[in-house]
């Protein structure tokens, strides 16, 4: 009997990319695949994104894994490179790099390279993570334009810090800062992450960088993917492995943090923090069994979770499938019950979980 499984719906992935293109019809798409494609499987996901223009990852080892998997599209390194010795690897593998600090620029200027690098100059307009300061922009821009190691068709970008919040003024401030800086520059521009694509159409520019939304999950506060016309790509499932009857007043699980108020039945399901399910979900967090929601009770263990099924009117039995999140139960909702964000849940699925890739013919 198969237990913890992540079903990856590749038809939903294709549908979401088509939806993204509808939302930003004039922009090219940089499909973000960092962190194992947000927990969905790096190479498998990339193989089904033929309509993306380029791929993006955080680090060079992720990019090399894509090349080893046979992917040939250009790949952008969102954190850039870290050592001068990385530069020949970038050129040999058609990797494009973000430039965000003086050390990177100096390394490129002073290296002997066999070909020109394609670069994206990142400006920090308010995220205060990576990126050059606005007052540095003109100097960096002119040095890059003058550098023989740089492909003259560089691109300009920034990253939003609060685009998930439509009530925040920060995103419009960042757009204004960016557009003021680059107003007289002919280079292509890239501002919008997933939240920018959905909430700030004025930021679409020449390139967009969809990440979370590509996997059918909303990046916006208090929203779910279906509200944007997206379909969840991952369905995390397991099975019921035991049914227990307990009396009123009995405590359940480590620490006895939940106590039954009346006689009830518990379904024990094969899922836990060893599979990546968050240990700190509150009691009552839903799961779906036989198309009906039931609440988790007690503490999430490494391998098992207990679910209160009452007097079991639906006849739940050992072996029944359980949806932990997916089409019937948005991961955004589970994340809220754990006091976190859906990014974390998707990325934390462990190697103990089996992956099942569903193609359009399945």
- For residue 203, give the 3-state DSSP assignment: helix
Identify each DSSP E strand in the chain by its residue range. Answer: 5-9, 28-32, 54-57, 75-77, 95-99, 119-122, 155-157, 188-192, 207-208, 234-246, 251-252, 258-259, 264-269, 286-289, 292-297, 305-310, 321-325, 354-358
Q: Which residue has the tokens 């494609």?
A: 37
CA–CA distance, 296 with 99 (Å, rounded to integer): 47
Strand partners, 121: 99, 156
State the catalytic residue, choosing from 251, 254, 273, 355. 254
Tell me, yes or no, if 141 is annotated catalytic.
no
Of 260, 243, 250, nearest to 319 (Cα)?
A: 243
- Give the C-alpha separation, 272 to 239, whole Å: 12
Asked if 294 contacts 308 with a C-beta cutoff of 8 angstroms, the reply is yes
Cα(219)–Cα(213) distance, rounded to whole angstroms?
Answer: 7
Contact predicate 253/299, CB 8 Å: yes
At a CB cut-off of 8 Å and minimum separation 6, what does 22 contact?
none
Catalytic residue among 34, 38, 122, 215: 34
Q: Pick from 97, 86, 36: which is nearest to 65 by CA?
A: 36
The one-character DSSP state at 231 is -
Name residue 190's beta-bridge partners: 157, 207
Which spans in the chain are helix H?
10-23, 34-39, 42-47, 60-68, 87-92, 102-109, 137-146, 170-182, 194-199, 331-337, 342-347
Whether residue 231 lies in the annotated active site = no
- Burial class, 81, CB count within 10 angstroms (exposed 0-12 / middle 13-18 / buried 19+): buried
Hey, which residues are catalytic here?
A: 34, 254
């Amino acid at each position: 009997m198969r237990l913890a499984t992540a079903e990856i719906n590749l038809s939903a992935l294709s549908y979401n990319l088509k939806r993204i293109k509808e939302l930003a019809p004039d922009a090219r798409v940089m499909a973000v695949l960092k962190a194992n494609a947000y927990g969905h499987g790096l190479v498998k996901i990339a193989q089904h994104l033929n309509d993306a223009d380029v791929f993006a990852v955080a680090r060079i080892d992720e990019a090399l894994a894509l090349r080893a998997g046979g992917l040939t599209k250009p790949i952008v390194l969102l954190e850039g490179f870290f050592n001068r010795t990385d530069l020949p690897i970038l050129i040999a593998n058609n990797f494009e790099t973000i430039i965000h600090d003086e050390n990177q620029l100096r390394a490129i200027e002073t290296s002997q390279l066999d070909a020109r690098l394609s670069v994206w100059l990142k400006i920090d307009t308010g995220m205060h993570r990576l990126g050059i300061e606005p007052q540095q922009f003109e100097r960096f821009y002119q040095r890059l334009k003058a550098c023989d190691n740089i492909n003259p068709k560089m691109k300009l970008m920034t990253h939003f810090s609060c685009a998930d919040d439509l009530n925040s003024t920060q995103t419009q401030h960042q757009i204004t800062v960016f557009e003021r800086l680059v107003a007289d520059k002919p280079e292509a521009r890239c501002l919008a992450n997933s939240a920018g694509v959905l909430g700030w159409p004025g930021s679409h520019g020449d390139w967009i960088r969809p990440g979370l939304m590509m996997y059918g999950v909303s990046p916006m506060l208090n929203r779910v993917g279906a509200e944007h016309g997206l379909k969840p790509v991952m369905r995390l499932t397991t099975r019921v492995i035991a049914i227990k009857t307990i009396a009123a007043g009995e405590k359940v699980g480590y620490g006895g943090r939940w106590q039954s108020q009346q006689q009830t039945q518990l379904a024990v399901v094969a899922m836990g923090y060893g599979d990546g399910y968050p240990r700190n979900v509150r009691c009552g967090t839903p799961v779906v069994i036989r198309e009906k929601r039931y609440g988790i009770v007690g503490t999430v263990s490494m391998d098992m979770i207990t679910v209160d099924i009452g007097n079991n009117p639906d006849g739940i039995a050992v072996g029944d499938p359980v949806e932990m999140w997916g089409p019937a139960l948005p991961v955004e909702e589970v994340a809220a019950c754990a006091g976190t964000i859906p990014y974390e849940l998707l990325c934390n699925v462990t190697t103990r979980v089996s992956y099942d890739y569903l193609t359009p013919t399945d």
